Amino acid sequence: MPSYRTDRLQRYEQRFLEIAQDLFDRVCREIPAQQAESHKGSYSVYPHESRAPVVKIVIYDPQIGRPSRDWPRMRDGVYVWVRANGPIGDAIWGDTLPVEMPWMFQRMWRDETVQIAANPQAEFAYFPIMAGDDLDEIAAFIVACSRT
């Protein structure tokens, strides 16, 4: 399984930090404080009843972080990682959320996943934040995932 070891957020490019922080701040305005956490190298959003991350906001840069050898081809940038396995993944992918927000699920594949090195049992589908993306819409999607 491809895994990525993040580094300190401060080491990443400022433009990526600003996007990741902006998205995280938008999410934090909509969920209880205990459901969101800034880590040394990424941001995590949790469901109500668990400390297993439901979504991660990750800055990818292979010159700073450390991807495993089997890492998929990606451009540097900010990515949203959505839990794809276990009960949390089933709650996200198997309920009404894909019907309510199909445009978000069309951006990723549940069977093409990555892991954060610090949490190898959690598998995440992923999509990049791209120029022109509506951060409010992505934040609303992340908040909806946190309510599963």
Q: Give the domain ranges of the chain.
A: 3-146
d(CA 104, CA 127): 9
> Which tens digits make up the pLDDT trace of 2-24?
999 999 999 999 999 999 999 99
Instruction: With CA atoms as reference, report the closest residue to 59 among 19, 29, 112, 3.
Output: 19
**pTM of the entire structure?**
0.95
d(CA 8, CA 12): 8
Confidence (pLDDT) at 117: 85
Residues comprising the chain, all counted: 148
> Which tens digits make up the pLDDT trace of 62-119?
999 999 999 999 999 999 999 999 999 999 999 999 999 999 999 999 999 999 987 8
Neighbours of 140 (CB within 10 A): 16
> Which tens digits make up the pLDDT trace of 48-65?
888 899 999 999 999 999
